[in-house]
Chains A and B, each alone.
Chain A
Amino acid sequence: MRSPGSLKQEFLKKWIMGLQRCSSSKNSMSVLDRKKAIKLSADIAMASARKGTTCWSRALIASASKGASDKHLVEQILGPESERLILMKKFSTGALVCSKRIRSKKILKRSCGIRRTRKCAPQAALASSIAKRLVRKRTQVLKRLIPGGEFMNEVSLIEETLDYIISLRAQVDVMRSLASASELMNHN
């Protein structure tokens, strides 16, 4: 799998690039504005480290590019590939059609299954239907947390979740190191 060290390096490089572009434009920003800029640079850097290979990274880049001023930052961090990566989100909807078909088949099979088991063991069927409802409810919550999650089928959702968590962890580690190091230096 991709090594976490190189992921952090990639993230750090792009993040610093983004921070430099943000701060060079306006010297006196409010604390809130600067925080938003730091966070935005971090998210774009994290997404661009995946180079358009995952759905969540494409969705993140697409939503970050919606504002005119933010789009400029996105283009600067992503570099020459930015146009291609921003447009990729639009073409990924092709996967929607197949995933919808698979999902509707699974829903159909699941609903048939529930009807069948209820005849044999009502208690077990009740427990399993509660469990299924819980799983479905939690899956909905997860879909809202992952960028672009509403469009994924179950399998892709879990794959994207795995990658998203790994990237988030790298992002947090790098940001924490920079924050601690800066604070240490500042207190001297």
Chain B
Amino acid sequence: MSSRRSRQSASVSRISDDQIIELVSKLRQLLPEIRDRRSDKVSASKVLQETCNYIRSLHREVDDLSERLSQLLATIDSDSAEAAIIRSLIM
């Protein structure tokens, strides 16, 4: 009984390990830093760390861009032709 249970859990994690390796390699392709380094041996924790840093930097960039657009819309010169274009597009 116990051997069957351990075999079951082993087969579940064996499938997951292969999947995890494949997914981690895909993740490496996306991360700019690791992709350029061209080494095959990158640890899982390094990949995770770079992933978290990358996501945080993308969040920051979205925040900055929202700030820029917001200020742009606030300071736009209301009578110019360009303002009318922008306004018709996003306001």
**In the assembled complex, which residues on chain A have CB atoms less than 8 Å from the CB atom of B1?**
none
Nearest-neighbour CB distance to chain B for A63, whole angstroms, equals: 15
Are A161 and B27 also in contact (CB < 8 A) when A34-B74, A106-B16, A135-B45 are? Answer: yes
Partner of A138, one of B20, B52, B73: B52
On B, residues with C-beta under 8 Å from A are 6, 8-10, 12-13, 16, 19-20, 23-24, 26-27, 30, 43-45, 48-49, 51-52, 54-56, 58-59, 61-63, 65-77, 82-83, 85-86, 89-91
A97 at the interface (CB under 8 A from B): no
**In the assembled complex, which residues on chain B have CB atoms less than 8 Å from the CB atom of A169?**
58
A105 close to B12 (CB less than 8 A):
yes
A-B contacts, 21 of them at CB < 8 A, read A16-B89, A19-B91, A20-B91, A31-B67, A32-B70, A38-B70, A42-B66, A109-B9, A139-B48, A145-B52, A145-B59, A161-B27, A162-B30, A165-B27, A165-B51, A168-B58, A172-B62, A182-B72, A183-B72, A186-B76, A186-B83
**In the assembled complex, which residues on chain B have CB atoms less than 8 Å from the CB atom of A23?**
73, 90-91
Chain A at the B interface: SS class = helix
A1-36 contacts to B, CB under 8 A, are: 16, 19-20, 23-24, 31-32, 34-36
